[in-house]
Amino acid sequence: MLASEGSMKQSKVRMFFRLGFGILAILGTLHAALTCVDIFRPLFFRPHEAFLIDAMAGQNLVFAAMFMGNANMWSAWLGFSIGMGMGALFTGMAGLYVTRDGMIPNQTMRFFGIGVALHYVVLAAFFWFYLPLIGFTISLTSFVIAEIFARGENRG
């Protein structure tokens, strides 16, 4: 293989890897930001029936009560949602950071990207709705394409 072909494959690996993590960062940012809006004015991740917010806020978590806490279902819901968004954001930012300045992701990093995106695809498919499922599937596909290019490069 010519040196320029190897360099081109490396740039494709890096581009698809960064695309996958960029999508994670964007989806995480959107989710966390919209959930922060819901803290003050529930609009996005609330039940259709507004009275259920009061019902959720009036019910403490059994698990929290076991440890002398008083977290209610509504605040737990908001906390879990913000945590999910921040997790995707920070994972995406970490993946983008490690590939700055032309660094090519190693196999461990590529498999980590595939695992994280697959985790979010499964969660979205079973518990969420279509927009995150589509976004996380595109992210997963980007990581798989990066891995295919990387394996092709290793074969010469």
The reported pTM is 0.85
Per-residue model confidence as pLDDT tens digits over 41-80: 999 989 989 899 999 999 888 877 677 677 889 999 999 9
| Longest CA–CA separation in the chain, Å | 67
Per-residue model confidence as pLDDT tens digits over 21-46: 999 999 999 999 999 999 999 999 89
Radius of gyration of the chain (CA): 20
Q: Are 149 and 9 in contact (CB under 8 A)?
A: yes
What is the total residue count of the chain? 156
